[in-house]
Amino acid sequence: MSQNNDLQMPRPVRDSQSEMNEIVLPNDANPLSALLGGRLMHWIDMAGAMAAHRHSRNYVVTAAIDHLDFWVPVHVGDLVILRSSVNRVFHSSIEVGVKVWVENYIADSCEHVSSAYLTFVAVDGKGHHVSVAPVVPETEEQRRRYDDAGRRREIRRAELERRKNRRS
C-alpha cells in the first residue's frame, strides 16, 4: 500500500457528505412512467462515489453494494434527492451510506425511497488498493453508523468467504 502523510490525516464525516439531485425524465423510466431500478442504482453508485472520492482524495472503485429495497415508486417529473455519507473507513475500503428521497413539487410531498450501503476501495493509477485516512464521526448518529458499519463488515467478509469457496 502506498502512503502519503497529507492524505492520511483523519477527516470528519461532514467534509465529504454529498448531495446529488436528478429530475426523472422519460428516458429514465419504464412504459408505466416509473423510474427504472437500474437507473436508480446507477445514481446511488454515483452519489456514493462522490463521498468516497471526497474523503479519500483518490480514485475509488465500487467493490460491493449491499441489499437494496425500493420502498415507493418514483415517476417521470419527480425530483430524486440522494445524500451520501462516509460511515467508516477500514484500511483501503470505505463504507458509504446513501439515502434516497423523492420529492413531488406539485403534490408537495417527500418520501424515503431507498437506502444502500456501498463499499468503495481506494486504488492507485494501476488499480492497486491504497490506504485511506480514518473518518471521524462527530454526532451521535454518525457514531451509530460507524459502529454499525463495523458489524456489517464482519457479515460481509463472512459472506464473501462463503461465495469465494463456492466459486472454487
In angstroms, give the least distance from the CB of 80 to ligand COA.
22
* Spatial distance between the Cα atoms of 130 and 91, rounded to a whole number of angstroms: 8
* Chain position carrying cell 445524500: 83
In angstroms, give the least distance from the CB of 94 to ligand COA.
8
Question: Which C-beta is closer to ligand COA: that of 64 or that of 68?
Answer: 64
In angstroms, give the least distance from the CB of 78 to ligand COA.
27
Residue ranges with strand state E in the chain: 11-12, 18-23, 59-65, 79-89, 93-104, 109-123, 135-136
> Residue 116 class from Cβ within 10 Å (0-12 exposed, 13-18 middle, 19+ buried)?
buried
Question: Which C-beta is closer to ligand COA: that of 74 or that of 117?
Answer: 117
Q: Which residues bind ligand COA (CB under 6 A)?
A: 61-64, 90-93, 119, 121, 123, 127, 129, 156, 160
Question: Which C-beta is closer to ligand COA: that of 80 or that of 130?
Answer: 130
Question: Which C-beta is closer to ligand COA: that of 84 or that of 119?
Answer: 119
Cα–Cα nearest to 114, from 155, 83, 149: 83
